[in-house]
């Protein structure tokens, strides 16, 4: 039964979960992801054509400076992301049953990792700055379709009682990848391939820890 007390418990659990998981993600990013990102930005800047003197041009969009400012805004974004995903995960947990322990939460975290990171990354892997990409709206549409198909497909595989529905779940998992993600006409990157691979590896690891922490912590704070 979902009532005001349950809602308050859900929100409180999500706030604590998002805070801790967001801080953990930031710490891992500072160690593994950000160094590769900063190196890639140097290659991107070197590849940018500098306008001739006297030529008018628009100012680039504001972005935080490297250092404490960038770390602060990254932390705020990670915590906000963590709270949002924790709320979603908690609501889905409630549809089934509240977890008995944090180990059950790890399975929910794994499902979230597969849904929101692994499946979309098979077609649209993490990109370093300076990478040529397909149209943004096309990528966003494919990402959303992939997340919805993967989430619903995993749900059917895990909880459906008939083989027909389970088969339908497997079809949903495969469908976005059979269609294929939008790709640029001429793939290119300003950064070396080794750096791009290093960035992808670091991002894969950081997101795995983030999602497992989300699941474990949410189950711990929202258990029966």
pLDDT digits (tens, 9 = 90+) for 78-107: 999 999 999 999 999 888 888 888 899 999
Position 1 confidence tier, pLDDT thresholds 50, 70, 90: low
Asked if 181 and 124 count as a contact pair (C-beta separation under 8 A), the reply is yes
Length of the chain: 224
pLDDT digits (tens, 9 = 90+) for 151-197: 999 999 999 999 999 999 999 999 999 999 998 887 777 778 888 88
pLDDT digits (tens, 9 = 90+) for 6-53: 889 999 999 999 999 999 999 999 998 888 888 887 877 777 654 444
b/e map of 56-65 (b: 16 or more CB within 10 Å)? eeeeeeeeee
Among candidate residues 138, 139, 141, the one with its CA nearest the CA of residue 149: 141
Asked if 18 and 79 count as a contact pair (C-beta separation under 8 A), the reply is yes
Asked if 128 and 199 count as a contact pair (C-beta separation under 8 A), the reply is yes
- DSSP code of 55? -
pLDDT at 54: 47
Position 60 confidence tier, pLDDT thresholds 50, 70, 90: low
- DSSP code of 67? T
pLDDT at 181: 93
Of 62-66, 127-131, 198-202, the one with minimum mean pLDDT is: 62-66
Question: Can you tell me the distance from the alpha carbon of 42 to that of 48, in angstroms, rounded to the nearest whole number?
Answer: 10
């Amino acid at each position: 039964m979902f009532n005001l007390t349950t809602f308050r418990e859900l929100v409180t659990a999500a706030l604590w979960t998002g805070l801790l998981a967001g801080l953990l993600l930031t710490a891992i990013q500072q160690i593994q992801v950000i160094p590769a990102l900063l190196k890639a930005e140097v290659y991107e800047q070197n590849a940018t054509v500098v306008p001739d003197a006297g030529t008018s041009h628009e100012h680039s969009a504001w972005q935080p400076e490297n250092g404490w400012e960038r770390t602060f805004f990254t932390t705020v974004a990670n915590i906000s992301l963590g709270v949002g995903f924790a709320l979603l995960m908690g609501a889905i947990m409630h549809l089934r049953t509240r977890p008995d322990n944090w180990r059950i939460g790890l399975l929910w975290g794994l499902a979230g990792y597969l849904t929101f990171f692994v499946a979309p990354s098979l077609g649209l892997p993490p990109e370093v700055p300076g990478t040529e990409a397909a149209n943004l709206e096309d990528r966003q549409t494919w990402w959303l379709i992939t997340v919805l198909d993967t989430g619903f497909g995993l749900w059917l595989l895990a909880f459906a009682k008939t083989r027909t529905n389970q088969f339908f779940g497997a079809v949903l998992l495969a469908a976005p990848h059979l269609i294929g993600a939008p790709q640029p006409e001429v793939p290119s990157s300003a950064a070396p391939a080794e750096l791009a691979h290093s960035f992808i590896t670091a991002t894969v690891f950081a997101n795995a820890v983030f999602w497992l922490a989300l699941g474990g912590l949410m189950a711990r704070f929202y258990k029966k």
